[in-house]
Amino acid sequence: MSGKAIGISMNFGYPGNYARTPDDIVASRLLNEESEAIPFGAAVCIKDDNTYTAVGAATTAADVAGIALRVVKQAVSYAEQNKTEYQPGQYMSVLERGAATVVCNVGTPKANGKVYVRVKANTSIANGVVGGFEAAADSTNTIEIPNMRWTSGAIDANRVCEVTLLTRASA
């Protein structure tokens, strides 16, 4: 995503940024070694062994712990300088309550509207990303996250918008 400021309105930032900090709860845990990589701004699940994992086909709303945050991270190798994701075995920061910027891949968010997370790919919806956020339900391919709402409904040219986790889903 390019950084531009010329236009009608400013972009809302990058996926995984804090949006409003006074009410945030952030937890750091290990990304499970068997998990897929998790990009900044994606939904994150918590496992019984106190590790995080990526969203998958068996994910339920109760499994979703929060949003992967973009934090200052040191590159561990030359080839990984620009990766915008957490790799398995790394510690990651996850917003468990508060507001963050995410990409709305499908639908148009509305203020205080329902937030869905894609758990299964659907070839008829090209923009759907497993673990990504959406403003429209897609049968059994998405799950509603009951403790999450679109904050304002505003969306920028890069489809970045703000969501709020109303309550902490995990301890």
Return the CATH number at 107: 2.40.300
Per residue in 16-43, pLDDT (tens digit) is 887 877 788 999 999 999 999 999 999 9
Task: Give the chain's domain count.
Answer: 1
Tell me which residue of 116, 112, 95, 86 sits closest to 19, measured CA to CA: 95
Would you say residue 75 lies in a domain? Answer: yes
Residue with token string 């952030």: 26
Per residue in 37-66, pLDDT (tens digit) is 999 999 999 999 999 999 999 999 999 999
| pLDDT reported for residue 1 | 54
pLDDT higher than 60, residue 152: yes
Q: Residue 53's domain spans which residues? A: 18-165
User: Rounded to 5 degrees, what are φ and ψ at 48?
Assistant: -60, -25
Would you say residue 13 lies in a domain? Answer: no
User: Rounded to 5 degrees, what are φ and ψ at 139?
Assistant: 50, -125
| pLDDT reported for residue 19 | 80
Would you say residue 105 lies in a domain? Answer: yes
**pTM to 2 decimals?**
0.87
User: Rounded to 5 degrees, what are φ and ψ at 132?
Assistant: -90, 165
Would you say residue 37 lies in a domain? Answer: yes
